[in-house]
Structures are given as structure tokens and as C-alpha cells.
């Protein structure tokens, strides 16, 4: 991994998820920055894009949702790594956002599962 690009941007409006994700991601050796919704996440990405290795974003949030934010980020950088998360059922997600081709993790998740998924999306092999 590029040492200059080691920030994970966590975008979620639920503080308990933000705390769990930031603790797990920091323990895995990444720096973390947080945004409370997709609009703030997009602004943060534009400022730090050269340092961000992954965007971890909730699918459904007030204001700009995670999918809309992801779409805008991918227009800026088609190679951006994005991991979506949601606690909603598949039925709700398909109704709200029928097409989803990005990596996904279901909330609630365990810290170890988030670390493994983050490493997988980034193409990092887990330490033995």
C-alpha cells in the first residue's frame, strides 16, 4: 500500500457505527477521517483524495446518500475504492437503489469482519 495514501474516509450518520469503524480501521494501521453524510464525505474526499485509500460509506443517509456520493467520487476518480454498508434489508436496498455494483458489508458487523473486508477491497492480504 502507498504510505502516502493511508486514510480511510468513514461516512455515516450513526455515531455507534462511526466509533466501531474508526476504532477497527485505526487498529489495522490506517488513519481515519469521518464525515456525517454524503455531501460532507464528498467535500472531504475532494480535499484529501491523494491520501484516501478507501471510502467506507453508509448507503442510506440524510441529504446525499452513500450511493450518490460514490457515483460522484467515481466520476472524479474511476479507480477510487469504495465499500458500502447498510443495516437495511435487501428488499429495502433494492427498492431504494436497484443497481449496486460496489463491495458491500452488512451492519452490524464485527470489527474483524470490517478489517478483512477493508483489506480485501484494497487488495491487501491478511497477515498470517
pLDDT tens readout for residues 113-125: 999 999 999 999 8
Give the Cα-Cα-Cα angle 78, 48, 43 (nearest 5 degrees): 80
Interval 31-81: pLDDT, tens = 999 999 999 999 999 999 999 999 999 988 878 888 899 999 999 999 999
Instruction: Summarize pLDDT for 82-108 with one digit per residue, the tens.
Output: 999 988 655 545 555 545 578 889 989
What's the CA gap between 98 and 28, in Å, rounded? 32
Return the percentage of the chain with pLDDT > 90, whole number: 69
The model carries a pTM of: 0.89
CA distances from 44 to 20, 74, 82, 108 (A): 20, 14, 14, 25
Residues paired with residue 106 on neighbouring β-strands, in sequence order: 86
Long-range contacts, stretch 68-76, CB < 8 angstroms, 24+ apart: 68/38, 69/11, 69/38, 69/39, 69/41, 69/42, 70/102, 72/42, 73/42, 73/45, 76/45, 76/46, 76/49
Amino acid at each position: 500500500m502507498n504510505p502516502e495514501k493511508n486514510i480511510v474516509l468513514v461516512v455515516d450518520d450513526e455515531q455507534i457505527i462511526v466509533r466501531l469503524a474508526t476504532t477497527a480501521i485505526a487498529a489495522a494501521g490506517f488513519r481515519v477521517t469521518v464525515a456525517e453524510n454524503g455531501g460532507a464525505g464528498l467535500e472531504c474526499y475532494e480535499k484529501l483524495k491523494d491520501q484516501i485509500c478507501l471510502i467506507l460509506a453508509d448507503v442510506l443517509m440524510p441529504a446525499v446518500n452513500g450511493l450518490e456520493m460514490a457515483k460522484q467520487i467515481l466520476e472524479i476518480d474511476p479507480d477510487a475504492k469504495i465499500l458500502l454498508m447498510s443495516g437495511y434489508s435487501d428488499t429495502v436496498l433494492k427498492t431504494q437503489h436497484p443497481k449496486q455494483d460496489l463491495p458491500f458489508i452488512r451492519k452490524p458487523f464485527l470489527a474483524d469482519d470490517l478489517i478483512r473486508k477493508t483489506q480485501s477491497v484494497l487488495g491487501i492480504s491478511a497477515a498470517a
